[in-house]
Structure 1
Amino acid sequence: MTLALRHARVRYGPLEALHGITLAAPSPGLTVLLGRNGSGRTTTLRALAGTVPLSAGAVVWDGVDVTRVPAYERARRGLCLVPERGAVFGSLTVRENLELTARAYDRALDAYPRLAGLLDHRAGTLSGGEQRMLALSRVLLARPRVVLVDEAAQGMSPAVAARTYELLAALDACVVLAEQRLPPALHGHPALVYELRRGAVVFSGEAAELRTAPGAARRPPRSGPRPAG
């Protein structure tokens, strides 16, 4: 099974964010979309999820064109999108967020033990890293067929971030991550990598190949506000 974009274009008003890109993410397997802010990596995730429409091209899932299938129907079929922001229900407690996905949530607490002491806290009061843990723990409980994650380890400590990438890489699913730089935990992983720049794919290959390829993904990200990619 694969999830793919074929010659996909996305427009935001007069501006084109994706310029006819083609890429494929295998399942099971890990695919990483790299690029600076404005490169199109977040838009690529949204196009795969169906939360933004294509102006041209196609989304193909397991050989079937799902371009016109709405986002909620893709979710019913097992696709899970974890956006960079707003990935948890802030007015609900941690426990209630978990119970929306599964009555038994021991697996989530095993993955992120810190959540055990936060079960009765409202999710909106958690730190950014804790909210990412909660959002990703719900993914582990849901057992989806496709997982799309924007900035998976944002706000996490290095140790928790490394654990997060291990958990995502071990899923029996098509996992697509959008990152500014290749996470250290994945440097030796046989992940498929696409580097995007200004809405176009400028590199595709395995993570090890990226080290010798020129591109923005290996440079430190710039500081300051981060607009949507």
Structure 2
Amino acid sequence: MTALALRHARVRYGPLEALHGVTLVAPGPGLTVLLGRNGSGRTTVLRALAGTVPLSGGSVVWDGADVTGVPAYERARRGMCLVPERQAVFGSLTVREHLALAAPDPAPALDAYPALRPLLDRRAGTLSGGEQRMLALSRALLARARVVLVDEPAQGMSPAVAARTYELLASLDACVVLAEQRLPPALHGRPAFVYELHRGAVAFAGEAGELARRPGA
């Protein structure tokens, strides 16, 4: 078991406060989904958990230990993997080189995303948006991380590949936190805890089924 949490977290970008005392817990193994429109704070929550933005208040707690001051590279070394929405791959490296950075044997990633096999010698910068997402997620799968943080995992993917992606993420033996604008259809009926963010604050917290039963949902 693992657990990742924000406690009364505040993040500022210059004079603007993006998170206003957010508290949430992501248990693992399991899925936690952060929902919200652009500007709601969901991406900032992922970055705060990963350590790529500093907190101006509050704390990040991982397995009961305060890691607020632990840099992002050290969190990665301890088993945390962040897949950002943008710039998730190195454009000058080939697909093969990307996978080699994550693990000596790329077979599990290529089994997960067979469409990458004919692209092994292509540079990542020449791939489509959906292909780049597959590559970025493949590296996360190969890393066998304890915590996987993904911002809009299925962006640019076909519906079939997107459904496969959510199936893969749901099956990981890890604490998985996804940021989405709305709950993906592929996650309906799956056990997942949901936080809905609005203007940098938590507007709803509960099981995915509870979200669907809310008035106006």
TM-score, length-normalised on structure 1? Answer: 0.93
RMSD over aligned Cα atoms: 0.9
User: How far off its partner does 1:89 sit?
Assistant: 1.2
Separation in 2, partners of 1:13, 1:40: 15
Separation in 1, partners of 2:79, 2:92: 25
User: How far off its partner does 1:214 sit?
Assistant: 5.0
Q: What is the letter of the counterpart of residue 199 of structure 1?
A: G
Separation in 2, partners of 1:125, 1:82: 19
Secondary structure at the residue paired with 1:100? helix
Deviations 1:155-209 (A, max 9, x none): 0000000000000000000000000010000011110000000000000111111
Matches within 5 A, 1:131-146: 131-146=132-147
Matches within 5 A, 1:27-176: 27-176=28-177
The percent of aligned pairs where both chains have the same amino acid is 82
Separation in 1, partners of 2:97, 2:88: 14
Secondary structure at the residue paired with 1:21? strand
2:189 paired residue number: 188
Separation in 1, partners of 2:90, 2:11: 28
Deviations 1:101-135 (A, max 9, x none): 11210111100000001001000000000000000
Deviations 1:73-117 (A, max 9, x none): 000000000000111111011001101111210111100000001
Separation in 2, partners of 1:197, 1:214: 17
Separation in 1, partners of 2:215, 2:110: 40
1:203 paired residue number: 204
Structure 1 ranges of 4+ moved more than 3 A:
none
Separation in 2, partners of 1:5, 1:52: 13
User: How far off its partner does 1:213 sit?
Assistant: 2.2
Q: What is the letter of the counterpart of residue 75 of structure 1?
A: A
Separation in 2, partners of 1:28, 1:120: 34
Secondary structure at the residue paired with 1:16? strand
Give unpaired runs (5+ residues) of structure 1.
219-229
Q: What is the letter of the counterpart of residue 212 of structure 2?
A: R
Separation in 2, partners of 1:164, 1:135: 12
2:20 paired residue number: 19
- Report the count of equivalent residues: 216
TM-score, length-normalised on structure 2? Answer: 0.98
Separation in 2, partners of 1:2, 1:212: 27
